[in-house]
A and B are shown apart, each in its own frame.
Chain A
Amino acid sequence: MSQKVKFEGLPREMIALRVSREIKEGSYVNLGIGIPTLISNWTEGVDIVLQAEIGMLKTGSLAEGDDVDQDLINASCQAVTALPGSSYFDIVESFAMIRGGHIDIAVMGALQINARGDYAGWSNPSRGLFVGNVGGSMDLCAGAKKLFIAMEHTTKDGELKIVNELSYPATALGKVSMLFTDLAVIEITPKGMVLKEVMAGLTAKDIQSVTGPKLIIAKDLKEIEL
């Protein structure tokens, strides 16, 4: 795709809100750095247990003022609060939860994703070597029951992020089931990417123009409801 099209999409907070609607009460959820972290702003009052891989279950809202405590931080190194029912544990137990299939949903950011549900998010080769900060991302992909991606549809420069083949190193192959962007909601199925929802004011054709793989248009295609 030679010409770069760029649409004004939803703000990051709204992508997070849309993802939050997909998380059922009672779920155990791990949120990655970036847009996924913002999802916690939309789950207050809903009984969703957030896991911080540093070693905490049921993290509360971000801490402020005198509540800030260096021994109470989430995996993004943000000071958080504890809630009734919170628990602490070490890193081995934390990854037993993650790898052992106990986390219902992991939501991650991505640099690239393809129609097979492969995604790249840990290494940006423009940085130098073909390595990066892998952190816990590959373990989450190996063990979470469902993997969602929340990201901007294209790069700031309008480069495609939803591509036919990854050019960046993969984080995991064939694991992503849902993709939430500032322009669309896409389900990843064995047949390919199914366009389920589009931002108000855009058409399926618009979305296809900024998407590498050929989209399957859902019969009940609708606007993203916020």
Chain B
Amino acid sequence: MAINKICETFDKAVADIPDGAIILIGNFAGPGGTPYYLIHALARQGAKNLTIIANTAGGIGLTVDYEDHRILFENGQVKKVIASFPFSTSASKPSPAEKQILAGKVELELVPQGTLAERIRCGGAGIPAFYTPTGYGTTIAGQKDVKWFDGRPCLLEKAIKADFALVRAYKADKKGNLVYRGTMRQFNPIMAMNARVTIAEVDEIVEAGGLDPEAVVTPGIFVNRIVKVEENLGFPRHPERSFWVKKA
């Protein structure tokens, strides 16, 4: 049968995510590049004891308060989070994840951003571990193995391997090739490359041949399912006008 990766609904796309799954979620700190509908489908689906790997732990409130993966923490679906920016930027407005981390209900693995990126990339690229100078001499170093290269001390960091990736892209073709828009790219391409099952939320799906091969960022081999954002929900690319930005 010819390859067609289109999945009709967000609920179907996440239906087989089991309890205890390790899930990568595309996200940086703002609304762009976050797979909002897939996250909310996962919240409805209700899988528990999840390990979430994302840049933030949701609801950090940097400059725009918007709907991200904080709902998974609010629902008590998460047992562990691997992130570089896990806490709210405002001590007086702690995020749901932050409260659960401080209460010992959710385990936190704090990883410098570049190390997080490289651990995800390596997991997708068949590299089990690598040495990096980042974090040497800090509490991040912990008990990690130290080796010197060219006169610099470096830490041994291990690759991350996930079961599922929820990613956000701009357009897909039916074969799963993805292109992005502006700064939405961030963690999405390496997460797509990493997971056993990658599910992409996109604005538009085109026929094979509808994307310029020179412009494809994530080749379809890394993508298992694609789901189109419903047009009738509207998708203004305007943080303040977007319907999923929380009203103050």
Which residues from chain A sit less than 8 Å from chain B, CB to CB? 52-56, 66, 68-79, 82, 88-92, 94-95, 98-99, 123, 127-139, 141-143, 169-173
Are B62 and A134 touching (Cβ within 8 A)? no
- A95→B113 contact, CB < 8 A: yes
Contact in complex: B86, A73 (CB < 8 Å): no
Q: Which of A88, A169, A170 contacts B183 (CB 8 A)?
A: A88
Contact of B112 with A75 in the complex, beta carbons under 8 Å: no
C-alpha spacing A35/B63, complex, angstroms: 15
- If A72-B182, A127-B87 touch, does A92 touch B190 (CB 8 Å cutoff)? yes
**A129:B185 contact, CB within 8 angstroms:** no
B132 touching A99 by the CB < 8 A rule?
yes
What size tier do the contact residues of chain B reach? 35 or more
Contacts of A98 in B (CB 8 A): 114
Cβ of B58 < 8 Å from any Cβ of A? Answer: no
Query: How far does the alpha carbon of A35 sit from the alpha carbon of B173 in the complex, in Å?
Result: 43
Known A90-B190, A134-B113; contact A68-B84, beta-carbon cutoff 8 A: no
CB distance from B62 to the nearest CB of A (A): 4
CB atoms of B190 and A169 under 8 A apart? no
**Set A70, A137, A139: member contacting B242, Cβ < 8 A:** A70
B contact residues around A171 at 8 Å (CB): 138
B19 within 8 A of A: no
Please name all residues of chain A whose beta carbon is closer than 8 Å to the beta carbon of B33 when the two chains form the complex. Answer: 71
- Of all A-B residue pairs in the complex, the 8 with the closest CB atoms, nearest first, are A95-B114, A139-B114, A71-B182, A77-B30, A77-B62, A136-B113, A71-B32, A173-B137
Contacts of B210 in A (CB 8 A): none
Number of A-B contacts defined by CB within 8 Å? 159
Say whether B117 contacts A91, CB under 8 Å: yes
User: Which of chain A's residues have a CB closer than 8 A to the CB of B114?
Assistant: 95, 98-99, 136, 138-139, 142
The answer to whether B186 touches A54 (Cβ under 8 A) is yes
Closest to A100 in B: B114
**CB of A72, distance to nearest CB on chain B (Å):** 4
Are A127 and B183 touching (Cβ within 8 A)?
no
Determine the distance from Cα of A172 to Cα of B84 in the docked complex, in whole angstroms: 16
B201 within 8 A of A: no
Given contacts A56-B183, A141-B134, 17 further A-B contacts (CB under 8 A): A68-B239, A69-B182, A89-B185, A91-B28, A91-B185, A92-B189, A95-B118, A99-B114, A99-B134, A134-B111, A136-B112, A136-B114, A137-B112, A138-B114, A138-B135, A143-B134, A169-B138
Identity of the chain B residue whose Cβ is nearest the Cβ of A128 in the assembled complex = B102
Q: Cβ of B111: which chain A residues have Cβ within 8 Å of it?
A: 134
**Residues of chain B contacted by A137 (CB below 8 angstroms):** 112
Instruction: Please tell me which one of the listed residues A74, A123, A138 contacts residue B134 in the complex, with CB atoms under 8 A apart.
Output: A138
Q: Which of B106-159 contact A (CB under 8 A)?
A: 108, 110-115, 117-118, 121, 132-140
Some 10 contacts from A to B, beta carbons below 8 A apart, are A54-B29, A68-B239, A69-B238, A78-B63, A90-B189, A90-B217, A99-B114, A133-B87, A136-B84, A136-B114
Considering the complex, give the chain B residue whose CB is closest to the CB of A139: B114
CB of B181 closer than 8 Å to a CB of A: yes
Give the chain B neighbours of A136 by CB distance below 8 A: 84, 112-114
Q: Which residues of A contact B217 (CB under 8 A)?
A: 90
**Interface flags, B202-244, vs A, CB<8A=1, else 0:** 0000000000000001000000000000000000011110100
Which residues of B, 37-96, contact A by the 8 Å Cβ criterion? 60, 62-64, 84-87, 89, 91
**A134-B183 in contact given A70-B31, A70-B242, A171-B138 (Cβ < 8 Å):** no
